[in-house]
Structure formats: structure tokens, C-alpha cells
A and B are shown apart, each in its own frame.
Chain A
Amino acid sequence: MLRLLNIEYHKLRFSKSSRVLITTYFILITFIALIASIEFNFGNVNFRLADQGIFNFPYIWHFNSYIAATLKLFLAIVIVSMMSNEYSNRTIKQNLIDGLSKKEFVLSKFLTVVSFALLSTIFLFVVSLILGLSFSDYTEISIIFSDMEYLLAYFIKLTGFFAFCMFLGILVKRSAFALGFLFIWWIMESIVRGVMEYKIFRDSNIAENIAQFFPLESMALLVREPFSRLNAVQSAATQLGSEITKDYSIHWYQLLIVMLWIVIFVYLSYLLLKKRDL
């Protein structure tokens, strides 16, 4: 396993574009801290975002996982291109001839995907911990380390998304087209969901129940948007006469669905590679 990771690391290490994208990604995660400095001044109303409790434990785990997850596209580009470049440079062929099995090839890519997700999770943990310790109103150990399941969800979500990208890279063989395909897939999911919700299954939650099994939707559901959980937003909504009742927690079956997709994508990648003549 280490050998496979080592091989993949060697391939990425010398690629300038991958290096730039990966560094940008991690720098951008640290930029979450900059949110702390966002201030609005409406006349004499002074509004500082950091004071709204976004960096309070344990809410920060949810907030930061959500924000950081939006940056995943940077790594997605790296992953898609590390797959498709193997095709365009025809190095996949040479790798196999040199004695890498097709199974090992897919496994080496998947291990890289998992490492990316893991690194990102650890990094996010550290950044959030530091931010939280500096801004949170509560710093009791028991509160700090509660709601940590958001990090698990974040990890699974990233792994799932990257596994999807890996599969698309192998399927489409061209990085630009694979990313385009990803975008089209996202639109398709939204359309199918919309049609089901507003045409076929009106006034019931059947559409929602089906849509939660879609790959991208299932990943999105893992870490829902955290903004409506903020006190300020909640109280504003109450004043407007509506109440936000949303389920922000992470359910085991949601994790399971995404993990199932991971298995499917990895297996399909392998199957595709096995069937193809290179």
C-alpha cells in the first residue's frame, strides 16, 4: 500500500500545476479565518461576523466543514487531471507494461483520493481548533469536542466527491471534458430532482426521499448549510413569522449512501480499466 502511495506521490510531486492547486487549496482553507475580520457598518450599527457566534464550539465544526467543502473543486481538478493525464500521456499503458496491475493502478489512485480527503480533514481540524480557541465563547473540553461527526461527514463527503472525479477522469479521459461532465451531471441531478418535486410527487416528500440517493445530492446532504442555524438568522426568521425547522444532524444512513457510492465508483473505475484495451 505504501508502495502505491509512494508511486502516486512521485507522479504528483513534480507536476507544477498539481503543486500550485494543492497549495492554493490549503491556503484557501486557512482563509476561513479571514471571515473573522468581516465587519459591516450600516450607519451606527456595527456588525462583526465573528461576534455572531460562527466560531463558537461546537457550531464551528459544522460551519467550517461546510465552508471548506466548497473549496473541494480545487482538489477535484487535481484528481481529474491526474487520471486523464495518464491517458493523454499514455503513461497508464507504460505503467501497466512496467508491471503495475490494473487493480494496483486504481488502488493507487483511490489511496491518493483518500489521502487528500484525510489531509484536508486533519488540516480543517487544526484550523478550526485554532479559530475556535481564539474566538469561541465556550472553551470547555467537552464542548470543544462535541459534534465532531461533522468532520467525519466532511471526510466521507470529500472521499465520495473525489472518487466520483476519479471515475469521471477514467471514463472521459480528458480533464476538461470530465469536469464538464461533472457540471452537467450536477445540472441533471437538479433537473430530475426539480421535476420530481414539482411535477410528479407534489405535496409529498417522495422526491426528497429519492433524491437523497443521487451521488452529488447525497454528498451535499452530509453537511447541510449552517447559516440558518445562526442565532441572528433564527431570530430574524421568527420575527418574519416563519420558523426554520431543518434537520442539521448527520444520519448514519446518509453516510452509508455516500460510502456505497464510493464503493461503486471505485469498482466501476476498475471495471472500466479492466475492460478497456489501451
Chain B
Amino acid sequence: MLKRFTLKTILRLNNLTKKFGPVTAVKDLSFTIEKGNVYGILGPNGSGKSTTLGIILNVVNKTSGDFQWFDGSQSTHEALKKVGAIIERPNFYPYMTAAQNLELVCKIKNVSAKNIDEKLEMVGLLDRRNSKFRTFSLGMKQRLAIASALLNDPEILILDEPTNGLDPQGIHQIREIITRIAATGTTILLASHLLDEVEKVCTHVVIIRKGEKLYSGPVDQMNASFGFFELKATNDEKLMSLLNSHPAFGKVVQKGEIITAFLEEPLEAEALNTYLFENGLSLSQLVKRKESLEEQFLLLTNQISA
């Protein structure tokens, strides 16, 4: 837990850009990853999440910009030995057993092979250590990938869509493992298009859409908006005009009997009630709400398209 307070930069991206021919997959992306936090990269499919991870993991060439692992004193591939990462599908040699595959990873990362059983145990695959990789189910493959990424006790664990394509039980197992790892203070970077996944495990989030960063910061401060009111009154017209003339409100929309008014500056429910009452209007319903993460996410990702 102490780690969380010693702010140490693990990864820094500066104006990273990647073009695939005429398509810009990642556009001017900058963010920083500090030690001890759990980060989520959130974006719809095809928003450039995997490309970004590919660049920092040395498998995709950047077009411009740069990135820096740790303090930047090491080459990328040396730095990657201190990173554990799995991207997209788990990639292993099908003809080797689980343990043999992990031994190979140990050799590449230059770490001792003594951790193998411990990590296999952690992901619940110890009893399958001598089974060939090709006999594994997708969920088992994914868990083996996590075990492999943990072999070097990494400074940061990078996971790209770890639950993609898994059945509910598999998803549950993976999430449980991630939560357990996060609890040990390991920095995690989790790319996903699933909101609740990010909401459940991450402390910080970077939202990207079409390769552009929309937001980065703590999950709970994700939306700059101040929430909204759901109101109901017998005199709709008067309520609308009163809301429109109040400086705190931006958009006001009527949907059936409910009028939704979005705040542009903080306003307490009590203050609104008083204001309306003083202007001769009684409400039959007053609810103040904040957008759920999903609504915030949709709000953010649609902001620019308008």
C-alpha cells in the first residue's frame, strides 16, 4: 500500500501517433502511468487501444511521437523484461506443455524458472502443468497467459481485453485473478471496451475514441458534468421556462412527463426546490442523479461526433 504514495512514473506517452496508410489509428495520444494505480484504457472496438499497446510493447512501429518506459534509460526490449503483458489472444507454442511454455518465457525474460509452479497455482492451472497448450480451453489459455505475464513479478501488468470471448464463468475467474493481483499493489493497465470491467477494477481511466484521447484521470472524476435533475410538475411549460432562465442549467429536455435538466454548475436539489417554489411552482417529483459510468462513457464518446 505504501507503494501507492511513492509516485513513480512507469510509462509516459508523448503525442504518440500511428497511421496505417490513410487511416489514423492513434492520434496525438499522451498520458502517463504512475506506479501503484490500476489504469483502464476504455474505448469502443477499433478505437486504437490495441494499437497503442502494440506500440509501447514493441510490436507496432509508431509513426510519430514517442514513449518512455520507466525513467527512459533502457531500451524498450530491456524495459519489457520488467513488464508482463498479454495482448489479444494468448499466444503460445501449441506443441509445448504449459510448464514448457512458461520455461521458455523465463528464458526470454532472463528470470529463474522457480516461479512457474507458484504462478500456475495462482491462476488455478497447476494440475494441468504438463498438458499440451493446444488441449487448453480459451479460458485456460487466457489464465496461462496471465501466469506467464506474472513470471517476472512485473512492475506493471498489461492486459488487453482479457475477458474477450470467454464464457461467464471464465470472465468471473479472470476478474477475480485481476482483482487479486491489483490488491498486491501491482500497477495494472487494462484495455477494454467493457465499462463495468473497468469500473470494477480500475482507479484511473483513459478514454479514447478513434485514436484520440477524450479523458484521462481518476474514474470518479471522469465526467466534468455536475449531474442532472429529473423533474415532474403539473405545469410543464412553466417548469421549462423557469429551468431555461436559471443560469445553472444547460440542456433541458422533456421526455413524456419527465423533464430532464442537465447541470452546468453545481446546484443542490434543495436550492432548486426553493427556487422553483419561490417562483410559484410545486414539483411532484424531484430526483438528482449523476450519470452512471456507462452514461458518462457514452456521453464522452459521443461528444465530438455531434
Contacts and interface: CB of A to CB of B under 8 A. Distances in A.
Interface of A: 3, 6-7, 10-11, 14-16, 89-91, 93-102, 104, 274-275, 277-278
Contact of B95 (A3, A16, A100, A104): A16
B61 interface: yes
A152 B94 CA distance: 37
Interface in B242-280: none
Contact of A90 (B54, B91, B103): B91
A177 B109 CA distance: 32
B85 interface: yes
B107 A97 contact: no
A234 B76 CA distance: 63
Contacts, number: 80
B92 A94 contact: yes
Given A89-B92, A91-B91, A97-B87, A277 B108 contact: no
B128 interface: no
Given A7-B107, A10-B104, A93-B87, 14 more contacts: A3-B107, A10-B100, A11-B93, A14-B93, A89-B91, A90-B89, A97-B59, A99-B78, A99-B80, A101-B58, A102-B58, A104-B77, A275-B61, A278-B60
Interface string B66-104: 000000000111101101011101011111110010011
B80 A7 contact: no
Contact of A97 (B85, B89, B92, B110): B85
Contacts of A6: 107
B65 to A, nearest CB: 16
B91 A98 contact: no
Given A16-B95, A93-B59, A101-B75, A10 B89 contact: no
Interface in B30-78: 54, 57-61, 75-78
A89 B94 contact: yes
B105 interface: yes
Counting chain B CB atoms within 10 Å of each CB, the highest count among A89, A94, A278 belongs to: A94
B132 to A, nearest CB: 9
B95 A7 contact: no
Nearest to A275: B61
A104 B300 CA distance: 43
Contacts of A275: 61
Contacts of A94: 86, 91-92
A16 B132 CA distance: 12
Contacts of A99: 77-78, 80-81, 83, 108-110
A175 B163 CA distance: 32
A201 B293 CA distance: 77
A104 B107 CA distance: 13
A207 B226 CA distance: 82
Nearest to A16: B95
Counting chain A CB atoms within 10 Å of each CB, the highest count among B60, B75, B93, B97 belongs to: B93
Contact of B59 (A10, A15, A277): A277
Contact of A98 (B75, B76, B95, B109): B109
A96 B54 CA distance: 10
Contacts of B93: 11, 14-15, 89, 91
A259 B180 CA distance: 54
Contacts of B20: 277
27 contacts: A3-B107, A7-B104, A11-B93, A11-B104, A14-B93, A14-B96, A91-B92, A91-B93, A96-B57, A96-B58, A96-B59, A96-B77, A96-B80, A98-B80, A98-B81, A98-B105, A99-B77, A99-B80, A99-B81, A99-B109, A100-B77, A101-B58, A277-B54, A277-B59, A277-B60, A277-B61, A278-B60
A99 B59 CA distance: 11
A270 B77 CA distance: 15
Contacts of A3: 107, 110
Contacts of B77: 96, 99-101, 104
A3 B93 CA distance: 19
A7 B108 contact: yes
B103 A10 contact: yes
Contact of A10 (B58, B86, B91, B107): B107
A91 to B, nearest CB: 5
A15 B80 CA distance: 27
A277 B100 CA distance: 27
A3 B111 CA distance: 12
B280 to A, nearest CB: 66
Nearest to A85: B93
Given A10-B103, A101-B77, A278-B60, A95 B108 contact: yes
A275 to B, nearest CB: 7
Counting chain B CB atoms within 10 Å of each CB, the highest count among A16, A96, A99 belongs to: A99
Contacts of B83: 99
Contacts of A278: 54, 59-60
A111 to B, nearest CB: 14
Contacts of B110: 3, 99
Nearest to A18: B95
Contacts of A102: 58
Nearest to B53: A97
